[in-house]
Amino acid sequence: MSKISIIGDGGWGTALAILLHTKGIDTTLWSISSEYAGYLSQKRENTKFLKGISLPEDLKITADDDKIKGSDYVLFAVPCAHLRSISERFKGSGFRNIISATKGIENGSLMRPSEILNEYFPDSMISVLSGPSISYEVATGIPTTAVVASEGNDKKDIQALLMTERFRVYTSSDVMGVELGGALKNIIAIAAGISDGLGFGTNTKAAILTRGLAEITRLGSVMGADISTFRGLSGIGDLATTCISGKSRNRCFGEEVGKGRKVDEILNETEMVVEGVGTCKSAYELSKKFNIEMPITQKVYEVVYEGKEAALAVKELMTREEKEED
C-alpha cells in the first residue's frame, strides 16, 4: 500500500487527506504547528480552515517532520508565499514523488510552485494538481474533476492514486499551463468579487470571466504554455468556480473590497491566505516583463496595492480605447 503525506493543514490539504484516507490509503496530514496538530488530533475538526467537516478518527496528524519521511508520495498544499521556506525545511528528505497542490506565482522570483520545488528537490518526480475543486465540496464528496500535470509518466500513477467515484482526475503534460491557470484565475476572482461588492450583475461577471480568460491565455501563450490548456479544467473550469462560488476566498475578499473596506483590514481578519493578492503583484510584473496587456489584472493591482477606488477602476476599464475582440 502506498504511503502519502500531505504537507499543509489548510482547507485543501485537509480535504485531500480525507479523500485519500477514505480511499484506504495510508495518509498523514502534516501541520507546521505542533499545537494545532494536537488540536486537530483531539478535536477531529479543522475549525480554522474546514469548519463543520469531521476528520476520520484514524487519520494520522503530526507536526513531526520525521513522521513523513519515507513516504511514497508527498503532496504540498501550502500557500505559495510559504512554499520556499517549507521546502527548505524538508530539503534532503529524499522525497521520491512530489505533488504540488499550491496555486500562485512567487513574488520577486516570479517562479511557479513546481519550479520552486524542483530547486529544493531536483531528484524528485514533480507533478501538479489543479482544477475547479472547492475544498468543502471535495471533503463532503460532491462530484469534482481535477487535472494532474507532469512532463513524465508519473502522472498516470498519480491519477490512479487520487481518482475516486466522486473525484475524477484527468492528465496533462502542460505543467506551465496548468499552474498558470490555477494561479491567475485568483486575480480574476478578486475582480468578480469586487463586481459583486459594487452591486453589479450577471452581465458584468460574464464580461470579467471572458476577458479575464483572454488575459490568462495571452500571458500563458507568451510564456510558452499550450493555450488549449486554458479551455480545460485548470483554465476556464477553475476560473468559473472561483469567480462564482460563495466559498471562494478570493471572490469573497474582492466582494469586501467592492463594498469599500480597506485591503489590510480584510486580510488581517482572514485566517486563510488570499492567494490572488500575492499573485496579482507577480502577474502585474510579468505583464510588464513580456509587454502584454492585462487590463483587469492591472486594475486589481491598482485597487489592492495603490488604493484606487474600485468604482473608478471599473470606469477606467469600461472607457478604454475601442478595440476588436481577441
C-alpha of 135 from chain center: 11
- Cell triple for residue 71? 513516504
Instruction: In whole angstroms, give the CA distance from residue 69 to residue 169.
Output: 26
Burial class (CB in 10 A: 0-12, 13-18, 19+), 114: buried
Does 51 participate in catalysis according to the annotation? Answer: no
Instruction: In whole angstroms, give the CA distance from residue 153 to residue 76.
Output: 20
Please answer whether residues 49 and 14 qualify as being in contact, where contact means their C-beta atoms are separated by less than 8 angstroms: yes
Task: Give the E-state strand segments of 86-219 in sequence order.
Answer: 97-100, 125-130, 144-149, 167-172
- Cell triple for residue 106? 512567487
Instruction: In whole angstroms, give the CA distance from residue 218 to residue 197.
Output: 27
Non-local (6+) Cβ contacts of 214 within 8 A are: 326
Write down the catalytic residue from 103, 185, 205, 281: 185
The residue behind cell 499551463 is: 177
- Bridge-partner residues for 60, per DSSP? 28
CA atoms within 13 Å, Cβ hemisphere of 238:
28
Q: What is the DSSP secondary-structure string of 140-158?
A: TT--EEEEEE-SSTHHHHH
Q: DSSP assignment, residue 76?
A: E
Count of helix runs (H) and strand runs (E) in the chain: 14, 8
- Active site (catalytic) residues: 185
